[in-house]
């Protein structure tokens, strides 16, 4: 899952910024963990993740990748060649050109608030839930792959071969596009995403960005964090500290 930065320049263009914190801080406070299963999700929450690149080791990132594969059932495609293989979450090395500092990033769909993948989708298959989780509605996806081209993070994959024995909670099929779902099937049950659960430290925090009492909100208020390619103003749900 190693990936080099040849196609798009991932070098962070802003220095560590407090903009993310300001946006988060203005959110609505929610105190209870309502059982959301029976009622539609609302925009009173915004799910997000904070990845501490100093604490998260390379092995930790590898663990996240395997946890994702195991949970969602991707990665054992038999006929797809190298670049056709799905990659919902990747390990990425970024180098600060000035200092030469190398950081390892776990990169998945950033669950943008203004997602370009949704803007370009001709069928409304690419969609954002009210709570900020960006998904592909495979019932509507025609496999045109516009969204793959539009995504600045190269976060989406196209399924190139017929599949069987998918996970019950994660339908996947040939001719449709897929990407990190933030383990929406678990989040809707009040659980955390599989990759977050695989990390045995607070190197990766998952939670409601708007909830002032949540760990992620509080951490984002106190540490410097950044969005990758913050210059694009997509207001990503996945944030990084230590880069």
Partner 1 sequence: MNRLLIVFLTLLVSSVFAHTNLGEQASSIKASGKVFHESISIIRKIHPEFLRHKRDKTLRQGVRTDEYSLKGCVSCHVNKDKTNNQYYSVDKKGQFCSDCHEQVSVSLDCFSCHRTIPKEGSL
Is residue 144 a contact residue for ligand SF4 (CB under 6 A)? yes
Partner from partner 1, ligand SF4, none contacting 167, C-beta within 5 to 8 A by type:
partner 1
In the beta sheet, which residues pair with residue 225?
Answer: 17, 241
Quick one: 127 or 150, whose CB is closer to partner 1?
127
Interface map 174-213 toward ligand SF4 (x if CB under 6 A): ---x-x----------------------------------
Quick one: 13 or 124, whose CB is closer to partner 1?
124
Is residue 107 a contact residue for ligand SF4 (CB under 6 A)? no
Tell me the closest approach of the beta carbon of residue 137 to partner 1, in angstroms: 5
**φ and ψ of 3, to 5 deg:** -140, 135
Residue found under tokens 């220095």: 15
| Interacting residues with partner 1 between 21 and 40 (CB under 8 A) | 36-40
Partner from partner 1, ligand SF4, none contacting 41, C-beta within 5 to 8 A by type:
partner 1
Distance CA 72, CA 170 (A): 6
Quick one: 90 or 156, whose CB is closer to ligand SF4?
156
Quick one: 9 or 137, whose CB is closer to partner 1?
137
**Binder among 81, 83, 165, 222 for partner 1 (CB under 8 A):** 165
Binding residues for ligand SF4, rule CB under 6 A, total 28
Is residue 168 a contact residue for partner 1 (CB under 8 A)? yes
Residue from 108, 115, 107, 110 nearest 150 by CA = 115
Is residue 82 a contact residue for partner 1 (CB under 8 A)? no
**Binder among 106, 136, 196, 199 for ligand SF4 (CB under 6 A):** 136
Residue found under tokens 């309502």: 34
**Binder among 188, 223, 224, 242 for partner 1 (CB under 8 A):** 188
Distance CA 120, CA 129 (A): 17
Residues lying near partner 1 in the complex (CB under 8 A): 36-41, 127, 129-131, 135, 137-139, 162-169, 171-176, 184-185, 188-189
What residues line the site for ligand SF4 (CB under 6 A)? 109-112, 115-117, 120-123, 125-126, 134, 136, 141-147, 151, 153, 155-156, 177, 179
């Amino acid at each position: 899952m190693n990936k080099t930065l040849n196609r798009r320049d991932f070098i962070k263009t802003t220095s560590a910024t407090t903009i993310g914190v300001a946006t988060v801080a203005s959110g609505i406070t929610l105190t209870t963990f309502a059982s959301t299963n029976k009622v539609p999700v609302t925009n009173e929450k915004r799910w997000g993740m904070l990845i501490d690149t100093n604490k998260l080791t390379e092995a930790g990132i590898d663990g996240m990748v395997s946890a994702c594969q195991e949970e969602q059932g991707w990665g054992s495609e038999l006929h797809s060649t190298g670049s056709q293989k799905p990659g919902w979450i990747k390990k990425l090395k970024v180098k600060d050109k000035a200092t030469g500092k190398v950081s390892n990033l776990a990169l998945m769909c950033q669950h943008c608030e203004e997602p370009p993948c949704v803007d370009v989708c001709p069928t409304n298959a690419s969609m954002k839930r009210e709570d900020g989780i960006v998904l592909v509605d495979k019932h509507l996806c025609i496999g045109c792959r516009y969204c793959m081209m539009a995504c600045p993070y190269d976060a989406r994959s196209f399924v190139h071969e017929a599949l069987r024995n998918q996970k019950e909670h994660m339908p996947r099929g040939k001719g449709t596009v897929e990407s990190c779902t933030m383990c929406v099937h678990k989040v809707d049950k009040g659980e955390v995403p599989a990759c977050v659960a695989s990390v045995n430290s607070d190197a990766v925090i998952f939670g409601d960005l708007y909830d002032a009492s949540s760990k992620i909100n509080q951490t984002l208020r106190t540490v410097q964090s950044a969005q990758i390619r913050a210059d694009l103003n997509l207001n990503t749900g996945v944030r990084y500290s230590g880069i």
